[in-house]
Structure 1
Amino acid sequence: MSTAVQHLCACGSGLAPARCCDRNSAQEQPDNSSDPILTFEARRAADTLRAGNREEAERLSIAVLERAPLEPTALATLAEIRLDAGIRPAAKALLERLAEVEPGNLWPVNKLGMLALGQGDLEAAERHARQAVRLAPTNAQAHNLMGMAMTQAHRPVVGAYHCQRALDLADLRIPLVLSNLATCLKEQGRIDEARALYREADQLEPGNRRTLLAWAQMEEADRQLGAATALLDRLDRIGGASPASTLTRAAILGRQKRNDEAVALLDAQTRPLRPVERLERGRLLDKAGRYDEAWAEFCAGKARLVELSGRSYLRAEAHALADQLKAFFIRERLALLPRAGVRDDVAQPIFILGFPRSGTTLLEQTLTASPGIAAGDELPLIQEVAALAPRLLDSPWDYPGALAELWLGDRLEGLDTLRDHYLQRVRQLGVLREGAGLFTDKMPLNEMHLGLVALIFPQAPLLHLIRHPLDIMVSAMSNVFTHGGFCGHALESAAEHLVLSHDLVVHYRAEMDLNYQAVRYEDLVDDQEATVRGVFDFVGVPFDPSVLSFERNTRYARTASYAQVSEKLYDRSRYRYQHYLRHLGPVLPILMPLIERLGYTVDPRPN
């Protein structure tokens, strides 16, 4: 190759930068993709690769692309070589160029989707997967990609549809697709169906580590700890423990109250622990009463998370949105706005509002123990409606300003459009249940959009979970969540966003007439029956004493609280902050006004 190594493109393609990632800066160079001689050479490179001579195929394809950087056959050949070699930046750059040159070609789109999945870029994976299905609606591989993308994005109803389509189109029982379908069914709470599919996938391909791990994680979540342990034992015999299987085993030991064994298992790892493992280790130390050590692990896990993700609190964006919402949602302006009508032909939402780790899962588990209330879990639909409002209302302004269109005569029913979009998506997500006239939406921090919620569902019950802010901080530090613009990645930003969200609720309640009720976490623990009766009275559903045994609700709770809500009600998380008070000093100035406003105190004495 004539080009010096130091002058090659940084992506690793083997091409000069001007013929690769910097190609746009060299547009003055003609493209010779239609040159018949280069076309012949490109085909020769492809044939050479199929014959197994990778080195010669690489040389030939690079020679073609140096003269014709958009020659599709050479792009495909070199991309395949770089994919096989694991040089992902080069493969991605070449595949993207090929997809531009041949927009109807499924192969580069599918490969780009798989690359994105491997790198955890779910947004890009979904974009490529949707394009693949558009290009090839009867192609099993395209539907499989979409199924995988939706599975990883925790959108189980859509994922299950595309997994099933892949199976039907292939007319084969493909173990990997069966396993993905099982995961989607698991996340819908269809545990028995999921278990049968995991078993089938395992029988077709015994010892597939991905299937066994997913199956074990489901059994752990379903409280079948013996079955989960047996599956993990099989994994160990096949090829040793992996980070994910070790974490699952530690979680099982923790649920069995074998905290010291779980900590020892994590400590035995010779590699640096990942953020989720450090946080799990911290939670285990907390259960063992080793609070200072636990806090050190929480802080180390969060710091490592920021380091690996490169993400921190989106402070400017969060405060800008809050300012815009406060400016728009004022009583004088709201008096000019219509309200959406209430539909009586479909189940209606109950909004469970609250900061992450405030007790929303506990309340949802209690409510959905009633047959009249279906579990929606964390529905990202209010944020979706807010994002789509400018388009749905045909407004040139962003949300919330787009709601000004509702003052126009031909937009008076615009809120009905937003309401119907929300309800349609609820149906598509498989939330509705036979015999249930209500469903829950407990997306954390929906209270930031309380004004929009009240406009499109003016009669919907709004249940706001209130918990001691310092307890929320301890729980936030011990778990990973990305809600609130990644505020939970650090203690101070979690406190700041908690205050921001509560201030918005105060604003909404002052400016709007809301069907609102605050529910204190501590009241749920201290006086469960009276508090739950009050909640059921508020939402208009008859109280059944059996809902007090919420731990018998066998639905799969798809949040970090899944283990807690499978146990009987306990009070060890109430005023847990007292064990960590000296570590919470940095956020006391931020939180004290809120603590006092909510009627709490800071008591240094442990219970």
Structure 2
Amino acid sequence: MDGDCVCGSGLKRLRCCGWRLSDLSGATAVARLQPLVEAAARLIASGQDAEGECLLLDALDLAPDCLPAVLELAALRQRQQNIPAAAVLWRRVLRLAPNHLGATLSLGMSLFGQARLSEAEAQARNAIRIAPDSAAAHNLMGMILTEANRPQIGEYHYRRVLALSGSRDPILLANLAWNLKTQGRMEEARRLYHESLRTAPTVRQTLLGFARLEEADRRFDTAQAVLDISDIAYPNDAQAQLARAVILGRIGKRSEAIAVIDGLAGRHDTGLGPARLGPAGLGPAELLEKGRLLDKLDRFDDAWTAFADGKRRAMALSGQTYLNEAAAAMIARLRGFFTASRLALLPRATLRANEAQPIFILGFPRSGTTLVEQSLSAHPAIAAGDELPLIHDLTETLPRLLGSPLGYPDALSELWMGDQRAGLDLLRDVYLQRARQLGVGRTLPGEPAPRHFTDKMPLNETHLGLIALIFPASPLIHVIRHPLDIMVSAFSNHFTHGFCCATALETAALHYARIVDLVAHYRAEMPEARYLCVRYEDIVAQQEASIRGLLEAIGEDFDPACLTFHQNQRYARTASYAQVTEPLYDRSVGRWRQYRRQLAPVLPILAPAMARLGYDVS
């Protein structure tokens, strides 16, 4: 029996997700339905959504490939905030009309709203191919690239929108301001926010973005003043109150911050898009922030409860879970390819002289990589690159660049061919070119160019073998920390690195153990790699000696500015951005002891990794 489709479109399964493009109804059948579709459109335009919807469902039951009916129903589901169903219908449109700009943009926006950035980017790129002068297409690309940690390229697309539209739209100015903020260009962003608010002083997202800019730039009084304006226009707005709680927490008023968050329980988000909060209580961001505040108040059991609730809520809303099979398969392929016997047959990329060289800061999320980057980038010869997605991008494009029918890493076997011996130089050049496009190492006129730049993308150690082939002279600084401290920090924050492993404590531990084993494999098979392991605990206990050792390995003289990393004015685009604005502290060392009972389930998973790295539970 053909029941309703599970996607929520309202169609029967065989007329929706079970439909095949080969099941075309014929032009005559579709044409005869046009009056029915037009009648439905008139009803919906007059506010009679239910009546119009019935006509559309009837039309599509008769002819699932009736393009005007699919377009009308997709737009209706989008307005109803039924995003999964809308996405299914937009895809149906694109199967019937692959170059339909409106459907391409709508699907891209739907995917962006679900944080499915790589899929959304594919749609945005196709929209620009279809209509290179479409301001909407460039705006979508700017939004996606900014969110995907490629703001420099996103800035190009936002500025294309300004040029194409010929206007200073306040929403666009606010979007560009947020983009510049993520690049650390705070003063430029601030000017754009002021310009946007002069034209449209009560746009919710503009006020929130401006407040978050000022909070990130440590101008807490100004941030609170902006939120005061937001409160007048949008009383008790959930996101504004969360932003206020973050500020209160940063200035030490943690109990007040918790009271603000607790006041959000049961309240629906008043902004655009589906409600993040509801009768079930707080949303994931609120719960995790509350847990971090409780932790600083030494209310550890309450903090862990908030963390666990936040993780469960995030999983329920996003549907994300650890991609266990994909992670295991990738690691197995890497271990199988990167062996001493195979590597002996491979060339190494040569050094590209007269160009800043990367320093790879490797480590599991929350291991202390941001602290190391902030310290090193305070040196005048070292620029901060932040979390560069370039190595991951190379793993995606490497087969095409090397002309291989195989996937990564097996496509590297093309380097055994005589006409591909320079293939690693090509990969090196692509990496360096993309780094330049991202603005890494960009200096003002008259300033000396840096000799190095950092790349601290979390879990780049997964591809340590590839990095060592492309940049054999670059230091590979692997930051390690007590695995249980990492687990506590991973459980108290949201990130999707590592195949979404941090959605649950056990899967974070499993992925961590897998990566520790993989790094040990690389070290055994590639002893020539410039691998340097540094302990977070050693940096905290012996800061100067640790930093001196790192600079010596890099080949730079010691600079005292590296010890006052908290005075480094660059904005760190990570969850640690607030911590690295404080002087070095040791309260995060051994934090796991406060959660010994809650961490008990992952001890068997982590025991081999702890033994290998020299940590214990004493």
| Common fold by TM > 0.5 | yes
Q: In structure 2, what residue type is equivalent to 1:27? A: D
1:475-486 mapped onto 2 (5 Å cutoff): 475-486=489-500
* C-alpha contact (below 8 Å) 1:33/1:70 kept by paired residues: no
| Structure 2 partner of 1:3 | none
The answer (yes or no) to whether the contact 2:146–2:179 under 8 Å persists in 1 is yes
In 2, Cα distance between equivalents of 1:8 and 1:499: 43
Decide which moves more: 68-77 or 166-175. 68-77
Letter in 1 for 2:101: L
The residue number in structure 2 matching 1:24 is 20
- Tell whether 2:230 aligns with 1:221: no
2:559 equivalent to 1:544 = yes
Distance change (3 Å), C-alpha of 1:418 and 1:275: same
Which residue is 2:172 aligned to? 177
Point out the more displaced range, 201-210 or 141-150.
141-150
Partner of residue 453, structure 2: 439
Matches within 5 A, 1:82-161: 82-161=77-156
| Cα offsets for 1:60-96 (capped at 9, x unmatched) | 6666555554344444444444444445455444433
Q: Residue 483 of structure 2 corresponds to which residue in structure 1?
A: 469
Matches within 5 A, 1:237-252: 237-252=232-247
The number of equivalent residue pairs is 597
TM-score (norm 1): 0.91
Change beyond 3 A, Cα 1:508–1:152: closer
1:75–1:306 Cα change, 3 Å? closer
The reply on whether 1:266 has 2:275 as its aligned counterpart is no
Correspondences of 1:504-583 after superposition (within 5 Å): 504-512=518-526, 513-583=528-598
Deviations along 1:402-452, whole A, 9 cap, x unmatched?
211111111111111221221122122222323112110111111121111
Preserved contact between residue 18 and residue 25 of structure 1 (Cα < 8 Å): no
Conservation of the 8 A alpha-carbon contact between 1:49 and 1:77: no
Give, as a single letter, the amino acid of the residue that structure 1 aligns with 2:455.
D
Which residue does 1:406 correspond to in 2?
415
Number of the residue aligned with 1:448? 462
- Please tell me whether the aligned partners of residues 107 and 120 of structure 2 are also in contact (alpha carbons under 8 angstroms): yes
- Aligned equivalent of 1:230: 225
Q: CA deviation at 1:152?
A: 3.0
Distance 1:251 1:40, change over 3 A: closer
1:494-522, CA deviations, whole angstroms, 9 ceiling, x for partnerless residues? 22222222222222222211112111111
Unmatched segments (≥5 aa) in structure 1? 1-5
Structure 2 counterpart of 1:575, which letter?
G
- How far the C-alpha of 1:589 sits from its partner, in A, is 2.8
- State the 1:131 CA deviation: 1.6
- Please report how far the alpha carbon of residue 53 of structure 1 lies from its aligned counterpart in structure 2 after TM superposition: 7.6
How many angstroms apart in 2 are the aligned matches of 1:176 and 1:371? 37
1:32 aligned counterpart, secondary structure:
helix
Residue 338 of structure 2 corresponds to residue 329 of structure 1 = yes
How much does 1:34 deviate?
A: 6.8
Q: Which residue of 1 aligns with 2:397?
A: 388
**Residues 104-131 of structure 1 deviation map (CA, whole Å, 9 limit, x = unaligned):** 3322222222333333333332222112
Using the TM superposition, name which of 454-463 and 297-306 deviates more: 297-306
Which amino acid letter does the alignment assign opposite residue 214 of structure 2? Answer: E
Sort the Cα spacing of 1:333 and 1:269 in 2 relative to 1 into closer, same or farther, 3 A: same
- In structure 2, relative to structure 1, the CA distance for the partners of 1:103 and 1:325 (3 Å cut) is closer
Alpha-carbon distance in structure 2 between the residues aligned to 1:508 and 1:169: 49
Question: Residues 301 and 173 of structure 1: is their aligned pair in 2 closer, same or farther, counting only changes over 3 Å?
Answer: same
Answer whether contact 1:46 1:73 (CA < 8 A) is retained.
Answer: no
Q: In structure 2, do the counterparts of structure 1 residues 101 and 544 end up closer, same or farther at CA, with 3 Å as the change threshold?
A: same
CA distance in 2, matches of 1:23, 1:275: 36
Distance 2:52 2:306 in 1: 51
Alignment partner of 1:257 out of 252, 256, 259: 252
Partner of 2:425: 416
SS at match of 2:172: helix
State the Cα distance separating 1:533 from its structure 2 match.
1.1
CA RMSD of aligned residues (A): 2.6
Distance 1:56 1:450, change over 3 A: closer
Q: Read off the aligned partner of 1:404 and give its amino acid letter.
A: S
SS at the partner of 1:351? Answer: strand
Q: Secondary structure at the match of 1:464?
A: strand
**SS where residue 596 of structure 2 aligns?**
helix
Supply the distance in 1 between the matched residues of 2:311 and 2:63 (Cα, whole angstroms). 48
How far, CA to CA, are the matches of 1:373 and 1:487 in structure 2? 32
Q: Are the equivalent residues in 1 in contact too, given 2:21–2:95 (CA < 8 A)? A: no
Moved more, 271-280 or 174-183: 271-280
Per the TM alignment, residue 493 of structure 1 is displaced from its structure 2 partner at its CA by 2.4
Superposition pairs of residues 201-212 of structure 1, within 5 angstroms: 201-212=196-207
Cα deviation code 1:263-308 (max 9, x no counterpart): 1221222321112221211111111111222222222222333333
Answer whether contact 2:149 2:388 (CA < 8 A) is retained: no
Cα deviation code 1:27-47 (max 9, x no counterpart): 275442674x65566567667
How far apart, in 2, do the equivalents of 1:127 and 1:7 lie? 32
Whichever residue aligns with residue 531 of structure 2, its letter is: Y
Give how far 1:148 is off: 2.1
Identity %: 52
Deviation at 1:237, TM superposition (A): 1.2
Q: Find out whether 1:278 has 2:287 as its counterpart.
A: yes
Contact 1:387 1:399 (C-alpha < 8 Å) held by counterparts: yes
Equivalent-residue separation in structure 1 for 2:461 and 2:84 (angstroms): 40
In the alignment, the residues of structure 2 paired with residue 507 and residue 287 of structure 1 have an alpha-carbon distance, to the nearest angstrom, of 38
List aligned pairs for 1:295-444, cutoff 5 A: 295-434=304-443, 435-444=449-458
Q: Judge conservation of contact 2:24–2:65 (CA < 8 Å) in 1.
A: no
TM-score (norm 2): 0.90
The residue type paired with residue 589 of structure 1 is P
AA aligned opposite 1:507: H
* Matches of 2:174 and 2:615, distance apart in 1: 48
- Cα 1:530–1:84 shift into 2, 3 Å: closer
* 3-state SS in 1 of match to 2:28: coil
Where structure 2 has 5 or more consecutive residues not aligned to the other structure, the ranges are: 267-280, 444-448
